[in-house]
Amino acid sequence: MSAPLHMRTPMRRVRGLGAAHSGTGHFWHQRITSVAGVPLTIALVLIVIALLGRSHAAVVQILGSPLIAILMLLFIINSAYHMWIGMQEIVLDYVHDDRWKLPALIANTFYVVVVAFAAVYAILKLSFGV
């Protein structure tokens, strides 16, 4: 093998880092968001069931009420982070070529931010009635 370019051993350079080069923090965050996701998903299902078949005016009023809006915002933000980690994990499992991996990881971030931002903006608009 050629001479090493630096004095750090390969072990030192990879310790604590996975394929995403960011360590095990996401593993733990995925567990936290899954625990939070249980009550939030139940809340979402109850809210959607309660709104089914109602008029637009009624839906706007209910979605904009503080308790419902807060639950919806928590569900969206929690789910967005959870699914961002999850899709990153899927990409890292199946895509090994950097030419595809990096664009896929960036696309994942863009998609999650755009969808979550749109949903959050809609809830805020319904809440503040602008």
Regarding 76 and contact with another protein (CB under 8 A), the answer is yes
Tell me which stretch binds another protein (CB under 8 A): 17-25, 98-106, 119-127. Answer: 119-127
Helix (H) or strand (E) holding 38: helix 25-51
Residues near 44 by Cβ (< 8 Å), separated by ≥ 6?
71, 72, 75
**Residue from the set 71, 72, 78, 105 that interacts with another protein by CB under 8 A:** 72
Tell me which stretch binds another protein (CB under 8 A): 16-24, 99-107, 117-125. Answer: 117-125
Cα 104 to Cα 37, 49, 81, 121: the distances in Å are 25, 35, 16, 25
Helix (H) or strand (E) holding 97: none
Count of residues of this chain found to bind another protein when the rule CB under 8 A is applied? 34
Q: Is 2 helix (H, G, I), strand (E, B) or coil?
A: coil
Residues near another protein, by CB under 8 A: 1-2, 31, 34-35, 37-38, 41, 45, 49, 52-53, 56-57, 59-60, 63, 72, 76, 79-80, 83, 86-87, 90, 115-116, 118-119, 121-123, 125-126
